[in-house]
Structure 1
Amino acid sequence: MSRSYRNGSNQAATVVAVVADVTAFILGLWILFSLLDANRANDLVNFVHDAARWLGSWSHDLFTMDVEWLRTVLNYGLPALVYLFIGHALAGRIRRG
C-alpha cells in the first residue's frame, strides 16, 4: 500500500475516534451537570442538555427507574459507551484497512 493511502486512513480513523470522544464527552458532561444540579437557565448547560438529548435520543427512557439520578446516568451513559465502543472499533478497523 502506498504511504499516502495509509496516512489518509490514519487521518480518517483519527477523525472517527475524535468524533466518538467528543460525543461521549458531551453526554458525560450532561450527566455531570445533571448530578450537580447545574442551572438549566445557563446557556452552556442548556446547550449541553440539548446536544445530549439529541445524541441520546435513541435511548430516551430506555431505563425508567424511579430514582432520577440513576435514570439520567443510565439513559445518557449507555449511549456514551456505545458511541465510544463503536467509534473506536470503527477507527481501529479503518487503520487496519
Structure 2
Amino acid sequence: MARRYGGNPAAVIILIAADIAALILILWILFALLDANRANDLVDWVHHSANWLSGWSRNLFTPDNDKWRTVLNYGLPAVVYLLIGHAIAGRVNRA
C-alpha cells in the first residue's frame, strides 16, 4: 500500500484519511439520492459522520431541491478533503 501512495508513511496516513473522509461524504450523498432507510444503523452512522465532516460547509448552498442541496453541501467538502489531502501528502512526500 505504501508503494501505491508514494512511500512516505506520513504521506500515506494523510492520503488515507483524506480518502476515507471523502468516501464517507460520497456514501452519504449516494444514500440520500437513493432514499436509503435512515433507521438503518449503517446509514445513520454515515449520516452523522458526514454531518461532522461537512460541518464547516453546512447550508452553504440552499437550492430548493433537497437532493441538489445534499450533493452540493456534502460534495464540496469531499472535493476539498481530496484536493487538500493529496496536496499536503504530495508536499510531505517531497520533503
TM range, smaller chain: over 0.9
Computing the radius of gyration from Cα coordinates, the structure with the larger value is 1
Q: Does 1:23 align with 2:21?
A: yes
Count of residues paired in the alignment: 89
Question: Deviation at 1:34?
Answer: 0.2
Q: Following TM superposition, where does structure 1 have runs of at least 4 consecutive aligned residues deviating by more than 6 angstroms?
A: none
User: Which residue number corresponds to residue 11 of structure 2?
Assistant: 13
Structure 2 letter corresponding to 1:82: V
TM-score normalized by the length of structure 1: 0.90
Q: Which runs of 5+ in 2 are unaligned?
A: 1-6
Q: Does 1:87 align with 2:88?
A: no
Q: Superposition RMSD on alpha carbons, in Å?
A: 0.8
Structure 1 letter corresponding to 2:74: Y
Q: Which runs of 5+ in 1 are unaligned?
A: 1-8
TM-score normalized by the length of structure 2: 0.92
- Identity, in percent, stands at 63
